[in-house]
Amino acid sequence: MDRITVACVQQRLRLPFTLDDYRDNLRRFARAAQNKQARLIIFPELAGLLVGVPYLADFRSGLLLRADQGRRRRAGIWQRTTGAVAQSMAGLFHADLRTSLSGLLELHGDDLWASYIDVYGGLAREYGMTVVAPSAYLPDPLDGVPRNLAAVFGPDGYLLGTQAKLMLHAEDQDLVEPGTALNVIPTEAGRIGLMLGNDILYPEIGRLLAYQEAEMLIGQASCTTPALYNKLRTGMLARMQDNQLFSAISFLVGHNDFGRSSREPFAGKSAILAPQDLTPRFSGVLVEMGSQRSEGVLTAEWDFAALRKLWEESDTPVRRQLPVQQANEILARLYSRQHLLSDGGEEDALIRQDEEAKADAAGKAADAVIALDDLPVFASITRRWPLDGSSADDELSIAQLQSRDTVAGSPIRTEDETDEMDALPGRFDE
């Protein structure tokens, strides 16, 4: 497929009472993408947690659902009032959606995974699109270990592959384990390399996906600080340009009921990207959301024929000169050495090397000591001392000073220049 329209979803967190409510919410995005003839739709990090919310039947979680309903734009007066009351009571009873979902993952992880497959596989099948489903805390189908995991579904609704987050954020670490593999997922829309959150910040991850013949790099993110959002946006642009691949990044937005250390709202501007040579003004951005807090659907066309032509003709031939063999060997040695360092195996040797280097540097410094009289003169000041205004010359006019001669017979200058300026070749006043 030489051309494809891709849709990128910026999704707001809305806590659903039932799975049918959540499906209806997802259909809004899918219909908007379908109206633009999109063949691929991308959702953000952690929005998949909403699949588990309808399973939470406890009183505290119910308060959070009522509070969320009252915050919605189209909420009526009664819903707003009861929502405000529920929010106050949720604080009073220490309602914590994160803790509730953690317990659900531990006790009913398989059921959670089955619902995730059913919801997003069903969405892909209903609209005939490849769906990059949002990540969630789920048991990894490979080994059952809980991870921050995203799945990709084909237009027939079948699961094509999964990718777990490798570099965990502090918000993830008490709930899940880091991923152990990095795989490219083949789809009808192309070969997808998927990066979640902090994975985007590591050039090695993008390059390894490129080595595995990824045709696009897809990023999913959830940010509660402007600093993290800007780092991930910049990182995604860099990974895209590093490897000359099409890219997109989808951000979660809205009220944050999942945070551990911070409950600041999620924010970000989702974007669809392309190598700078293929974008207006060489920005690398095909289209980007105008707001960091509004939800919506972006669409843009990726021209793979133009991308392959760029690989062949670009004056920066990144793709033609990927040093696969050399990089594999270098990275293998580097990571092996780092592994030994973490185990302490090379620590003593490195300490000895450091001490020897310091001793050698000290010896060279001692040899380099010279007498004060041997120091070369680089410049000399032509104004008379002292310069603090205590000289009697300060009472003279500039004209009188210029009429006086120095010992060398040249006029005193009123600028703090050095004599060496006169020695420079050429004249600067012509």
On whether the CB atoms of residues 130 and 40 are closer than 8 A, the answer is yes
Helix 203-211 and helix 324-343, axial crossing angle in degrees, nearest 10: 140
Say if residue 411's pLDDT is above 90.
no
Ordered alpha helix ranges (H), 18-96: 19-35, 59-71, 77-92
Q: What's the rounded mean pLDDT across residues 159-184?
A: 91
Say if residue 315's pLDDT is above 90.
no
Distance of CA 44 to the CA centre of its chain: 13
Res 382: pLDDT: 45
Q: How far apart are CA 37 and CA 5, in angstroms?
A: 7
Nearest to 382 by CA among 425, 411, 402, 403: 411
Q: What's the rounded mean pLDDT across residues 328-355?
A: 60
Per the listing, tokens 């020695």 go with: 423
Q: Look at 122-131, 339-348, 388-397, 410-419 and tell me which has the smallest mean pLDDT.
A: 410-419
Of 175 and 196, more confident: 196
Confidence of residue 151 (pLDDT cuts 50, 70, 90): very high
Say if residue 81's pLDDT is above 80.
yes
| Torsion angles phi and psi, residue 9, rounded to 5 | -95, 130
Q: How far apart are CA 159 and CA 156, in angstroms?
A: 9
Long-range pairs for 70-79 at CB < 8 Å and ≥24 separation?
71/255, 72/14
Say if residue 303's pLDDT is above 90.
yes
Nearest to 138 by CA among 102, 187, 169: 102
CATH number given to 3-322: 3.60.110.10
Res 326: pLDDT: 63
The dihedral of CA 41, 45, 48, 54: what is its sign? negative
Of 326 and 404, more confident: 326
Confidence of residue 94 (pLDDT cuts 50, 70, 90): confident
Q: What's the rounded mean pLDDT across residues 405-419?
A: 42
pTM, rounded to two decimals: 0.75
| Torsion angles phi and psi, residue 317, rounded to 5 | -80, 65
Q: How far apart are CA 295 and CA 34, in angstroms?
A: 17
Give the start-to-end residue ranges of the domains of the chain.
3-322, 332-369, 380-430
Q: What's the rounded mean pLDDT across residues 152-180?
A: 92
Task: For 359-381, write each residue's pLDDT tens digit.
Answer: 666 665 555 555 555 545 444 44
Say if residue 403's pLDDT is above 70.
no
Nearest to 48 by CA among 107, 115, 96, 100: 115
List all residues 6 or more positions away from 296 whose beta carbon is below 8 Å from its beta carbon: 9, 10, 270, 289
Per-residue HEC secondary structure of 231-243 comes to HHHHHHHHHHHHH
Res 424: pLDDT: 43
Looking at every residue in the chain, the average pLDDT score rounds to 80
